[in-house]
Amino acid sequence: MAVASQASAAPTSDTESADQQDYRQYFTPLPSLPPIPADNSLTAEKVALGKMLFFEPRLSKSSNISCASCHNPALAWTDRLPTAVGHDGQVGERNSPTVLNSGFLGSQFWDGREPDLEGQALGPIQNSIEMAHDLDGALARLSAVDGYSDHFQTAFPADEAPLSSGNLADAIASFERTLNTPNAPLDRYLLGDEAALTDQQKAGMKDFVDIGCISCHRGANFSDSLFHPIQVPGSDDPGRFAVTNEESDRQAFRTASLRNVALTYPYFHDGSAETLEDVVPIMAEQMLKRELDDATVERLVSFLHALTGEQPVVTVPALP
């Protein structure tokens, strides 16, 4: 609290410079690419194929739902719905996470049940309330479309039977690893552009450290990739407990990234909070046992807006 009050006073430029040095050390600019797995090298051919597959509704049973339906590029690669709408209009139980910067996460899905994007990619295709298909059916659909065999062969030239679910996952994951948002105001500030943050955002950055948000929301992607129990008001979702059966994982979810959080509303695993002004006090109370005053909430929200990076510009692929 002492530091937070200090930050809202007008410091001399000397003390400001010293303070900034202190606080910058807690943050890491977002690299332009996440780590690339050794067994799925990133190639232009895989990315091009993965982009097609990401937009491909014929992967779904109805031929009407693609990855891009819930991870909508027009809506910061999510759907701005509390929880996802899938096959036959069925409504799911969890909020669609953005794909942006997802390659930086240490696991996938709210409960971390898949270790990587390759594992994640095949989940929604087979989920009965999402795309509601089976992998054989999805692959058969692709095989029936002139062109896909060639695209898979080009992307996976060493494979004898390249049109496989493993390669489907590898291609989609490769495309997703290109969807990153570097050069947010915070990144530019960290790299030396003093004017990239407003004074309020600089003060919010200090609050973010001092209050303790950073203990979980840390690293380049503002997530420790660990699981923490949280009582989101009104939710009885068992969270990671359903994956591990460990009592300590009950109602635990992987720390959400805060990159582009101003765009990825609504919030929480159940999408029950609409605005950052709603979320910040709940998080402080639930996770840090802190009651924040309105001015602190405003500063933190202002800082969170500084995490909106350059959005990838994507042309819609012409599907075969």
| Residues near a copy of itself (CB under 8 A) | 52, 55-58, 62-64, 66, 69, 72-76, 79-81, 85, 87-89, 311, 313-319
Which one of the listed residues 56, 118, 130, 176 is annotated catalytic?
130
CA 212 to each of CA 170, 226, 298, 300: distance values in angstroms, whole numbers, following the listed order: 37, 16, 16, 12
Nearer to a copy of itself, 48 or 81 (CB): 81
Query: In terms of residues, how long is the chain?
Result: 320
CB of 80 to a copy of itself, least distance (A): 7
- What is d(CA 219, CA 13) in angstroms, rounded to the nearest whole number? 27
CA atoms of 101 and 33, how far apart (whole Å): 8
Identify the burial level of 21 via C-beta atoms within 10 angstroms of its C-beta, where 0-12 means exposed, 13-18 middle and 19 or more buried: exposed
Is 176 among the residues known to form the active site? no
What's the sign of the alpha-carbon dihedral 190, 192, 193, 194? positive
- Give the Cα separation of 128 and 187 in Å (integer): 40
Query: Least distance (Å) from a copy of itself to the CB of residue 64?
Result: 4
Which residue number, 76 or 138, has a Cβ lying nearer to a copy of itself? 76
Locate 56 and state its tokens.
């491909």
209 vs 301, beta carbon nearer a copy of itself: 301
> Of 282 and 319, which CB lies nearer to a copy of itself in the complex structure?
319
Nearer to a copy of itself, 76 or 216 (CB): 76
Q: What is the C-alpha to C-alpha distance for residues 159 and 136, in angstroms, rounded to an integer?
A: 18
Min separation Cβ 7 and a copy of itself, Å? 27
Report the alpha-carbon distance of residue 184 to residue 205 in Å, rounded. 14
CA distance linking residue 65 with residue 131, whole number of Å:
6
- Pair 180, 308: CB distance under 8 Å: no
**Shortest Å, Cβ 265 to a copy of itself:** 11
For the bound state, the minimum distance from the C-beta of residue 57 to a copy of itself, rounded and expressed in Å, comes to 7
Would you name the residues annotated as active-site residues? 130
